[in-house]
Amino acid sequence: MTSPASSPSSTRAAAKPANPRSRVITASLVGTTIEFYDFYVYATAAVLVFPILFFPTGNDTTALLLSFSVFGAAMIARPIGAIVFGHFGDRFGRKATLVASLLTMGVATFLIGCLPTHNEIGPWAAFLLLVMRLAQGFALGGEWSGAALVATENAPKGKRAWYGTFPQLGAPIGFIIANTVFLLINFALPHPGGAGQRSADFLAWGWRVPFLFSAVMVIIGLWVRLKLVESESFTKAEQKGTIRKFPLAVVVRHHWKALILGTFIMLATYVLFYLMTNFTLSYGTKAASLETAAAAAQTAAANGGAPYDATAFAAQFYPGLGFGYTDFVIVQIIGVVFFGIFTLLSGPIADSIGRRRLLLWVTGAIIAFGLTFSIFLLPQADPKFTGALTQAFLVLGFMLMGATFGPMGALLPELFPTNVRYSGSAISYNVSSILGAALAPIVALWLWQLGDGNPWLVGVYLSAMGVLTFIALLLSKETKDIDYDENLGLGATGSL
């Protein structure tokens, strides 16, 4: 669809888009960076802090499982957020919806940093943590899709996948910022009992600082997003009368196949993402011997005011790699750098050869990667060799993560027309979070135990999810040549 060449206004619009490239990139990148920062801060605390301060059961595995369960609960809230924010984003526009999602996420994260612990208010501490976590998930349910639409709906022709990688880049940047903040706190606090992360000062107040710091980032993000102008695609949909009163009904009735395919196309990405971040942090920092773990658990129980049962602890113990927290996070951050690099590289490749073709190759590699866990992630006689294998594992895994995550910023929105694009992409992305991200930490913990400390079953789980994604890609069509100006959706305003 072309506009009359003689129109001065259309000529000016072509020469100077409503949202300049720098504003589009900054608004999509800054927002998702803050959102993922908030998410990672919680994920780190879910391993290091919350089992001790909010779930002091006296059983190390049970406390960690409860902490992961609250972590996963946010995934249940994400599809609800996708429906709510998707409705308003498709009905009234992208800009206001993005501002609301960012503000919700920021307030919830800040309040987590203010919560009393179990020692102060008992089980109510865990309940309040759950409420704040649900609010985080609700907000993230609307954040990603809005940021992806800001990027792709304002992208030049032939560069939609490249522009779509900028909101994706918020994931590695948010990870690096969040973990750097935790590391700085660790270095700044005294450790009279040794260089362990969970010092008395860290458990008393240090863990709160990353949550409170998010307020500064949210203010910056809001300032950038308030300067956005509504996308041209949405404006055209309004002018053509294709905006629908109930976008959810339309997308479920007329685009259900795209919803299902989008959900499973994203599945392997989610499972890989949370295994590389959440599970590896748990596995990497878990003691490699029962004696070391028992001493740490006894100290943690004393700090948390919980009873310690040596016999029960020995019965449920299973080993990890035995890294110190600081050492492992540095190794993890190095891997995440490759996550960011390959996220950016995936965009131009997806624009050149197509999203589907690229993702078929990457998903095949993820399936193979899942079968290597017992090669890379078992303790070796030489600790340096263990460290080298672990670093290689994280670099390879995060390279694959960038290559699969990057194209999703374009592919999922392209599955849907403009008038239901926010709802459709948000629902697919966030329903997949239940099947992948919500279950991955819990399933991985169970499989880790089932393997008596050997993570090979965790890798098989990743490969199985990769097979499901591979099938979904085979059943889907290439989307790179879809014209957003033509694919506005059908129907008059006010109808279903």
* Tens digit of each residue's pLDDT (9 = 90 or more) over 279-325: 888 888 877 666 666 666 666 666 555 666 666 665 666 777 888 87
Query: Per residue in 477-488, pLDDT tens?
Result: 999 988 877 766
Q: Is the pLDDT of residue 103 over 70?
A: yes
The CB density around residue 10, as the number of other CB atoms within 10 Å, is 13
Q: CB under 8 Å to 131, separation ≥6 — which residues?
A: none
pLDDT in tens, 227-284: 777 767 777 777 777 777 788 888 888 889 999 999 999 999 999 988 998 788 888 8
pLDDT for position 406:
95
pLDDT at 29: 85
Cα separation, 276 vs 440, whole angstroms: 11
Q: Give the distance between the most distant pair of CA atoms in the chain.
A: 84
What is the distance between the alpha carbons of residues 294 and 291, in angstroms, rounded to a whole number? 5
**Low-confidence winner among 126-135, 180-189, 299-308, 389-398 (lowest mean pLDDT):** 299-308
Give residue 340's pLDDT. Answer: 94
Average pLDDT in the 343-361 region? 96
Q: Is the pLDDT of residue 15 over 50?
A: no
Is the whole-model pTM more than 0.85? no
From the CB of residue 226, how many other CB atoms can be counted at a distance below 10 Å? 12
What's the pLDDT score for residue 244?
A: 73
SS3 state at 17: coil
Residue type, 483: D
Report the pLDDT value the prediction gives residue 344, as an integer from 0 to 100: 94
Confidence label for 334 from pLDDT (cuts 50, 70 and 90): very high
